[in-house]
Amino acid sequence: WMEEWWEQLAYLRTRTTMAIHINWYGVVPDLGLPVTNVQAAAMMLHAVIEMRTTLEQGKYGVEQMRNNNLDMHQFTRVFGMTRIPGEDADMLQQAHTSRHIVVLRKGALISMPLYCPAGRPYGLSQLQSLVAAVIEIADSAILEANDEPPISVLTSMERDKWASVRARMLEDPTNGESLRTVESALFCLALDTATPSNKQETGWLSLGGSGRNRWFDKSFTVVIFENGRGGINAEHTPVDAMTIVSMFLRVLTTIRAMFPAQRAAVTATPTHLAAGTEVPRKLHW
For this structure, is 272 an active site residue?
Answer: no
Q: Which own/partner pairs from 200-204 qualify as long-range (CB within 8 Å, at least 24 positions apart)?
A: 202/27, 202/28, 202/229, 202/230, 202/231, 203/25, 203/27, 203/231
Beta-strand (E) ranges in 114-152?
A: none
What whole-number distance in Å separates Cα of residue 76 and Cα of residue 63?
A: 14
CA–CA distance from 40 to each of 28, 100, 105, 130 (Å)?
11, 18, 15, 13
CA–CA distance from 123 to each of 28, 75, 114, 264, 282 (Å)?
22, 24, 9, 14, 22
What whole-number distance in Å separates Cα of residue 155 and Cα of residue 85?
A: 9
Phi, psi at residue 252, to the nearest 5°?
-65, -35
What whole-number distance in Å separates Cα of residue 263 and Cα of residue 253?
A: 15
Cβ count within 10 A of residue 52: 20
* SS3 assignment, position 36: coil
Query: Among 73, 236, 272, 284, which one carries the catalytic annotation?
Result: 236
* SS3 assignment, position 223: strand
Give the number of C-alpha atoms closer than 13 A to the C-alpha of residue 219, restricted to the C-beta side: 25
For the annotated catalytic residues, the residue numbers are: 236
